Structure 1
Amino acid sequence: MKIAYFDCFAGAGGDMIVATMLDAGLDGEFLKEQLSTLDLGQVDIQISETKRGSLSAKSFLPKAGKQHAHRNLSQIVEIIDNSGISESAKERAKAIFTKLAQAEGLVHGKDANEIHFHEVGAVDSIIDIVSAAIGIEALGVEKVYCSALSVGGGTVKCAHGTLPVPAPATSELLKGVPIVGGPVDVELLTPTAAAILTNIVDEFGQVPSMEIEKIGYGAGTYESSDFPNVLRLFLGEAAATGGESDVICLLETNIDDATGELIGHLMDRLFESGALDVFSEPIRMKQNRPAVKLSVICEIGDIEQIEQRIFGEGVTFGIRKQLLNRSKLNREFVTVETKFGQIKVKVGMLGDRVVNAKPEFSDCQRAAEKNSVAVKIVMEAAMTAYRESK
């Protein structure tokens, strides 16, 4: 499976996203030909080699003549619909603009269709979004991964005045997405880039297991002596594991003033809040104090409620967290008949090969209590029934 990974250590702009694709193999002439079908008047697409810091990178810069001052969502959708790009690229580009309009509408208290785009409606942003939709399809990418997004810091001047970084509309688009401030106090992540990435990216986290075939660097307009303002793209094949992979979060905290009863209570509540797993281990802290390290594994979408649960119990002042790539077997459940009743068996598969099978403990426990036998006997009966069914 062909996959892509965007490394946003210096944030991203719409032009940077397109430039990385061009540097990684997207045909520039093909892209220009596709863009020429947009009813935007005279637009000169400049694709060139440049440098940011010590790194060579591609630059993507649309140059347009006099244009319509502002465009609303319906006008942009009409331009896209009447173009000659593929239907799938049209749908993606329209979805990105719609998401952007909804974010702008939320922060300005308006309906998405009432929003008149300023910077976003400018020709370069239309070109950036449509180009990204064309590029991700033309490169044949089946799944897109992305790092945490560097957003910068400070303030930014725009049509609505001076705003904090990330800008309010950008912040709306970033809900549920891992971000990091810095490394400089300028706007590193634009609303256009946030809208594109939150549409095309399937998973945020660390670099997935992959065989890199091509690397692209896209240059941003901001230049700094401290770091290269580029976006990096890895293109390649997903490593063949025969299983599945996803991104999860590991949260950890050290607790030195809670009883075992409180720790046990908290662990139960964390499972109720959606934790995939919760475990603790004894540790020694400063001044040789005995303590407990509590670890929680959860889905990215459950991070906030897990943190609220931990803080709500009043056992700690801080939580560490990190995103981790997880490889896992493909799994399915089958139900087997035993003399103690029906028991579900979880089956793990590596490709088409069964490599693990385990009876569900809760089913075995209920059956054991009902039949007044040991749980181990029920588990053995379930495994025997499973093997005989194959």
Structure 2
Amino acid sequence: MRTLYLDAFSGISGDMFIGALLDLGVDFDRFQSELAQLHVSDYQLHNERLAKNSIYGTSFDVVLNHEKDHGFIEHHDHHHHHDVRHLSDICSLINASGLSEKIKKQSIAVFTEIAKAEAAVHQMPLADVHFHEVGAMDSIVDIVGCFVALDLLGVDDVRASALSDGSGFIQVAHGQMPVPVPAVMQMRIGTNIPIKQRTDVQTELITPTGMGLVKEIVSHFGSIPEDAILLKTGYGFGKRETGSFNALRALLFDTKKSRQTVNTDHDAVLLIEANLDDQGGESLGFAMDLLVDAGALDVFFTPIYMKKNRPACKLSVLCAPEERDTFVNLLLRHTATIGVRYQLMRRSIMKRQFKKVETKYGTIRVKIASRNGVVKQTAEYDDCAHAARVHKVSLADVEREVQLQLAKLENQ
């Protein structure tokens, strides 16, 4: 299970979010190709990897080919308005695209949130809300692009820190607005989204698009995950000069222990088991998924016969010894058993490291296991499966490509 954690110490906007995901490894060419399914033109996408405060990250921008005038709601220093659109116009444009139904639904949900907020702030019917700069083509590309990039990264869950915003006032087409801007505060109503104001920053850090994204995708607010494997860190740079480091940090985690580097050739695991003869297959599958998502080293079923020749299955869970209570509680809660048994087991294992291999289907992680001169290299299934789905090829095609690139690296 891949978890994306947004460390919003300097707020969040659409371009910062996309920049951070590109920095995490989203293929830019594939990203552009997916966005082309919007069937609109007259814009260019720019991304640049650069350093700020000696920290490297990615700056992303949408530039219209006929830019002239400044807009007023989103990213005031680089977005512009040419067309006035209503929510229905934007929904029609997105629904007519070739994007997946999931991306369409998520994108429309963000625009709807922004429209509702503007309608409440300006005391007008939802249908009458004019999307000036937010509804212009650059922001449509921004918002849709956020969900395209998220999908390409293969994220299962998104969490976030408390959001930081600036203070003071900003000057827009309608005059001065307080920070956080009214639309952002309106979207916060009825939620538990935590916002901390920074008195050292006298400008806006959370844009309406950023707030809309947070409402749509973030499942939990809190500290950085403690028990997951950190895969990669990315930074998406903002365009404003805030007087401090203006970036969104994105952390990509995996709860699977199989992704963890192992530097020893022996360890101990706990085997927890329960015999089940009165539980259906669907609920057993659901329990297995929960156990895997919780970080079990392995989960498996064994067909058995119990007393009175009743057919049943034995559910076995391998986990770290210190995680006993976590998995015992999960078994008692999500299976029909009223008790479990467990034993500590010693293992001889291979040391495990990972490397990344560049292929025509993108970057694929390869697991390298070694012990006493024996070396095994295996492409990560999840990476191969994701690449196969994205590029519409077979899993075998991706695996063959990985083996080809590994062979080339060995011959160099």
Q: TM-score higher than 0.5 here? A: yes
Matches within 5 A, 1:263-282: none
Pair 1:239–1:156, CA change in 2 (3 A) = farther
Partner of 1:34: 34
Partner of 1:179: 195
Percent identity at matched positions?
A: 35
In 2, the alpha carbon distance for the partners of 1:352 and 1:185 equals: 58
Find 1:163's aligned residue among 177, 181, 187.
177
Pair 1:40–1:158, CA change in 2 (3 A) = farther
SS in 1 for 2:44: strand
| Pairwise CA distance, 1:181 | 0.4
- Whether the aligned pair in 1 keeps the contact of 2:2 and 2:156 (CA below 8 Å) is yes
Find 2:122's aligned residue among 95, 102, 108.
108
Matches within 5 A, 1:336-375: 347-348=332-333
Matches within 5 A, 1:1-390: 1-66=1-66, 68-175=82-189, 176=191, 177-182=193-198, 183-208=200-225, 209-225=227-243, 227-238=244-255, 242=291, 347-348=332-333
In 2, the alpha carbon distance for the partners of 1:330 and 1:92 equals: 37
In 2, the alpha carbon distance for the partners of 1:37 and 1:63 equals: 18
- Whether the aligned pair in 2 keeps the contact of 1:11 and 1:188 (CA below 8 Å) is yes
Question: Normalising to structure 2: TM-score of the pair?
Answer: 0.58
Higher deviation after alignment, 216-225 or 59-68 = 59-68
SS in 2 for 1:48: strand
SS in 2 for 1:202: strand
1:2-48: CA deviations, max 9, x gaps?
A: 11100000111110001001000111111111222324431110111
In 2, the alpha carbon distance for the partners of 1:170 and 1:329 equals: 41
Higher deviation after alignment, 346-355 or 86-95 = 346-355
| Pairwise CA distance, 1:353 | 9.2
In 1, the alpha carbon distance for the partners of 2:336 and 2:113 equals: 37
Higher deviation after alignment, 232-241 or 205-214 = 232-241
Pair 1:21–1:103, CA change in 2 (3 A) = same
SS in 2 for 1:25: coil
1:276-304: CA deviations, max 9, x gaps?
A: xxxxxxxxxxxxxxxxxxxxxxxxxxxxx
Partner of 1:314: none
| Pairwise CA distance, 1:211 | 0.7
Give the paired residue count.
261
Consecutive unaligned residues in structure 2, runs of 5 or more: 67-80, 258-289, 295-324, 342-412
Higher deviation after alignment, 120-129 or 34-43 = 34-43
- Whether the aligned pair in 2 keeps the contact of 1:222 and 1:229 (CA below 8 Å) is yes
In 2, the alpha carbon distance for the partners of 1:353 and 1:5 equals: 36
In 2, the alpha carbon distance for the partners of 1:108 and 1:57 equals: 37
Pair 1:179–1:68, CA change in 2 (3 A) = same
Structure ID, larger Rg = 1
In 1, the alpha carbon distance for the partners of 2:109 and 2:328 equals: 31
SS in 2 for 1:193: helix
Pair 1:224–1:151, CA change in 2 (3 A) = closer
In 2, the alpha carbon distance for the partners of 1:330 and 1:71 equals: 55
1:218-256: CA deviations, max 9, x gaps?
A: 00001344x2101000112126694998xxxxxxxxxxx
- Whether the aligned pair in 2 keeps the contact of 1:243 and 1:328 (CA below 8 Å) is no
- Whether the aligned pair in 2 keeps the contact of 1:54 and 1:228 (CA below 8 Å) is no
In 1, the alpha carbon distance for the partners of 2:63 and 2:337 equals: 53
- Whether the aligned pair in 2 keeps the contact of 1:45 and 1:61 (CA below 8 Å) is yes
1:70-89: CA deviations, max 9, x gaps?
A: 11111111111122221211
| Counterpart amino acid of residue 212 in structure 2 | A
Pair 1:210–1:114, CA change in 2 (3 A) = same
| Pairwise CA distance, 1:51 | 2.5
- Whether the aligned pair in 2 keeps the contact of 1:243 and 1:330 (CA below 8 Å) is no
| Counterpart amino acid of residue 236 in structure 2 | G
| Counterpart amino acid of residue 247 in structure 2 | V
- Whether the aligned pair in 2 keeps the contact of 1:242 and 1:351 (CA below 8 Å) is no
- Whether the aligned pair in 1 keeps the contact of 2:2 and 2:155 (CA below 8 Å) is yes
Higher deviation after alignment, 36-45 or 102-111 = 36-45
